[in-house]
Amino acid sequence: MKKINKIGLIAGFTIILGTGIFMANADKNINAMLSKKIVYSDIKEQVKATKQEKREKNKENQEKQEKKGTKKIKPSKNGNGAYNVNGTIIVNKKYGLDENYSYEDNQELYDQATEAFNNMQKDAEKDGVWFYTVSRYRSYAVQNWVYEGYKKEREHVDTFSAKPGYSEHQTGLAFDINGENPETSSNYKFEGTKQYKWLRKNAYKYGFILRYPKDKKDITGYKFEPWHYRYVGTDISYDLKDGNTTLEEYFNLE
């Protein structure tokens, strides 16, 4: 009997001791949980602050990029007297060429353009489409003759013909293209030809762009010319393959 009471006493003491330890641990766990809650709250605030800082940084970077994108580029003039941006010759209403400038001043580019056009012409023939160059290189003197002739015959000549010194043809990199029908030569009827459709779909593969697209007269100064293609090389032509972006827009020119 005494032995049983002793065992009971020990067991009871063990239970009380265990309960005390449990309660002590429970208090510690509760305190730890409360502590964690406070820490979590702090971390949450820190994360919130970090996200806000990141948003502000992104906004700042975006504003910098937008500001950079609106900065106009002024072409530089090379030793041969042609304005250019990163090697791409720029000739438009604002940037012209010296009177004595000719395709020989960019002979390497001229030769590249010749080879590219020949390859394009051959590949088009494989697709059953034939075209040729109506006009390519025109000297300052020839352009002057063309321009003055238009002035005598037609109004608003500056919307479709360049003044001497301001024509891409003087570089030899501009190609006026037509097909079999002489009635579509250098006029808006060319837009309805299979040649035009083929060029719009494939010319960029050879380094050519449609130089004066539709609805860009306020940028280029010229009306839509579906026949006028310019050799710029494939690095640029692939970027402009949609046929709706001008060189002025591409380089963000002044």
Taking the alpha carbons at both ends of the chain, their separation in whole angstroms is: 111
How buried is 150 (Cβ within 10 angstroms: 0-12 exposed, 13-18 middle, 19+ buried)? middle
Task: Give the number of other Cβ atoms within 10 Å of residue 148's Cβ.
Answer: 14
Alpha helices in 90-177 (DSSP H): 107-126, 140-153
Tell me, yes or no, if 60 is annotated catalytic: no
User: In the beta sheet, which residues pair with residue 228?
Assistant: 176
Side-chain-facing half-sphere of 101: CA atoms under 13 Å: 24
Strands 88-89 and 132-135: unpaired
Q: How far is CA 30 from the centre of its chain?
A: 60
Q: What token pair was written down for 21?
A: 């330890």
140 closest CA partner among 178, 169, 174: 169
Q: What token pair was written down for 165?
A: 């010194």
What is the C-alpha to C-alpha distance for residues 74 and 83, in angstroms, rounded to an integer? 9
Q: How far is CA 210 from the centre of its chain?
A: 16
User: 104, 168, 225, 249: which is the annotated catalytic residue?
Assistant: 225
Specify the amino acid at residue 158: D
Task: Give the number of other Cβ atoms within 10 Å of residue 59's Cβ.
Answer: 10
Active-site positions? 225
